[in-house]
Amino acid sequence: MSIAKTFFGNLPNGDGVDLYTITNKNGSSVSLMTLGGGIQALKVPDRNGELADVVLGFDDPVHYLNTDLGYQGLLVGRVANRIRDAKFSIDGVEYHLPANQGTWTLHGGGRFSFTNWEVEEATDNSVTFKKFSPDMEDGFPGNFTLTVKYIFTDEDVLRLEYTVLSDKKTAANPTNHAYFNLSGKSEGTIENHYLKINADHFTETDSDQLPTGELGEVKGTMMDFNDLHKIGDKIDEPFRAIIDGIGYDNNYCLNKAPRDFTQAAVLYDEESGRKMEVYTDLPGVQLYCGGWLAKEGNPGKGDSKVIFRRGVALETQFYPDSVNFPDKFPFSYAMPGEEFKTVTEFRFSAE
Ligand code: BGC
């Protein structure tokens, strides 16, 4: 294993963004950037040993700041996904957040994703990013530190260890927002990727994609990914949980005890043979196929543009808006002075 640090580029405010590239014995590599503690590139072999980059992103760090380009590869905090009416209560105290989407908050307002993280440690096979957020920043209680340790192994496993520490009881739901396309090609959508999600239920949503608190059954609907099949098979079927033309952008409730570490999903590209398994100790995963991205005109990496359905995100998390359903959905608060930890792994192979 080896690690190399390079300069990626400057942000409009003059901040420089660094890249840390970890390479394993097979030549597989992951490039992690200080901006948003994000995954900028991830090169893994196909069934013939050919390496290719399987995450979407950009050649210039500036584009990562554009929310219309969908949080490519970035870490998300303090609380990923949607919070209805941009508010929630803890022990009778109401907290108000920035509403950055209509009347609700998406991805905690975005601050964690769009600034540089401190590098606490870099070793041959790991990078540990750290971000501090003071009490009541963006309305969230607690002096809050989020640490994310990325570990890359010789077995092509990318492991993300999240640690939250706060001095007040608070909400935390960090995730990573990488979009995968296992083909390694610069064209085509993920509709021909096979997907399996170990979930019998999804969170029902209203017309703004905000959870209603109810769980829907996947059985007999386009939402069912219990059997490995192509994402595109049913993506455009009309269904109550799907916004016309967008396709999947839904939280799945994983079949497991909430904090057990198990396989959540499998993504497979038949042509290259590349396979990715997602493991997590969190209860949910947001399946998002980039349906809100523009169909053309967006930048990307080389010829690979960040456009409609080019990549699929599998964001491990507590269910969206859990802060407003803390008794109904499986959720744990970060308690004062106690480290709250969660782990997700992306395991790559080829067959
Ligand atoms: C959301 C999408 C959103 C995307 C980028 C996903 O987690 O579910 O609706 O467009 O993030 O912000």
Q: DSSP per residue over 91-119, as a string? A: TTEEEE----BTTBEEGGGSTTTSSBPEE
Q: Which residue's alpha carbon is at the smallest distance from atom 7 of ligand 1?
A: 81
What single-letter amino acid sits at 251? N
Largest interatomic CA distance in the chain: 58
Q: Is the pLDDT of residue 109 over 90?
A: no
The pLDDT tens digits for 15-53 are 999 999 999 999 999 999 999 999 999 999 999 999 999
Q: Which residue's alpha carbon is at the smallest distance from atom 11 of ligand 1?
A: 70
Give pLDDT, residue 110.
Answer: 85
Closest CA to 338 of 128, 137, 144, 88: 144
CA of 5 to the centre of ligand 1 (A): 30
What single-letter amino acid sits at 201? H
The pLDDT tens digits for 221-260 are 999 999 999 999 999 999 999 999 999 999 999 999 999 9
d(CA 33, CA 72): 12
The pLDDT tens digits for 305-329 are 999 999 999 999 999 999 999 999 9
CA angle 190, 194, 196 (to 5 degrees): 120
The pLDDT tens digits for 122-179 are 999 999 999 999 999 999 999 999 999 999 999 999 999 999 999 999 999 999 999 9
d(CA 208, CA 213): 14
DSSP designation for 319: P
Q: Is the pLDDT of residue 277 over 90?
A: yes
Catalytic residue numbers read: 177, 315
Residue where the block lists tokens 């580029």: 9
Q: Which residue's alpha carbon is at the smallest distance from atom 5 of ligand 1?
A: 70
Q: What percent of the chain has pLDDT over 90?
A: 99
Indicate the pTM of the whole model.
0.98
d(CA 252, CA 106): 18
The pocket around ligand 1, CB under 6 angstroms, is made up of 70-71, 81, 106, 249, 286, 288, 292, 315
